[in-house]
Amino acid sequence: MTEETPGFEEKPDVPSGATPDDAEPKAAPSSEGASPAGDAAAAQVAGLTAQLDQVRTALTERTADLQRLQAEYQNYRRRVERDRITVKEIAIASILTELLPVLDDIGRAREHGELVGGFKSVAESLETVAAKMGLQQFGKEGEPFDPTIHEALMHSYAPDVTETTCVAILQPGYRFGERNLRPARVAVAEPQPGATQAEKGDSPESADGNGKENGGPEEG
């Protein structure tokens, strides 16, 4: 048997050319090595967020532009439609104004009993068409005189009126919508001068407080 030499311990075999430090296990890499990758990811997220904000801002601006253009277009359409209606009304009013003398002749013929036969049928058809186009006749006897729609051609006094009144329609007035094509030409009558004072003199106010006329007999 071989005897072990006291005082010596067995050591693991070390490859030749290797130092003892190489045999020791290496320490795990520290967390400092992962910081560059995290910074890059954070920078990328920040860049994407900034781009998203820019896109949202641009979208808001384009939406506002679109809404403004749409409002301007709607205003333009309303303005064009209003102008179209105005031009149409002016054209119709011009045509109806030219027909007024013809309608006056028809009215005079009707008053004299000359609206008969085929002439009557044509005249009534013309009046119907004018009414469908919006022509309205106005002016009646007995209505108060209104200088905005009446034209006074004759003037007189009458004891049976209390205000300036149209007592005769010499030519009827015509309107189209809110347009007065021609005022009604009328004869007017005003209250008789002094009639108001006479009425006041005959009123009960001329009596005394007891309801008796001044100077009348008194009861005993």
Q: How confident is the model at residue 39 (pLDDT cuts 50, 70, 90)?
A: confident
pLDDT over threshold 60, residue 214: no
CA separation for the pair 63, 139 (Å, rounded): 58
Q: pTM for the complete prediction?
A: 0.58
Single-letter code of the amino acid located at 57: T
Predicted local distance difference test score (pLDDT) of residue 40: 81
Please give the helix or strand (H or E) that residue 125 lies within, else none: helix 117-132
d(CA 199, CA 204) in angstroms, rounded, equals: 10
CATH class of 135-201: mainly beta
Please say whether the beta carbons of 176 and 92 come within 8 A: yes
pLDDT class of 140 with cuts at 50, 70, 90: very high
CA–CA dist 100, 78 (Å, integer): 33
Per DSSP, the residues of 42-93 read HHHHHHHHHHHHHHHHHHHHHHHHHHHHHHHHHHHHHHHHHHHHHHHHHHHH
Give the pLDDT score at 218.
45
Q: What pLDDT, in 10s, does the model give residues 164-181? A: 999 999 999 999 988 999
**Domain coordinates in residue numbering, the chain:** 42-93, 135-201
Model pLDDT for residues 90-128, shown as the tens digit of each residue: 999 999 999 999 999 999 999 999 988 889 999 999 999
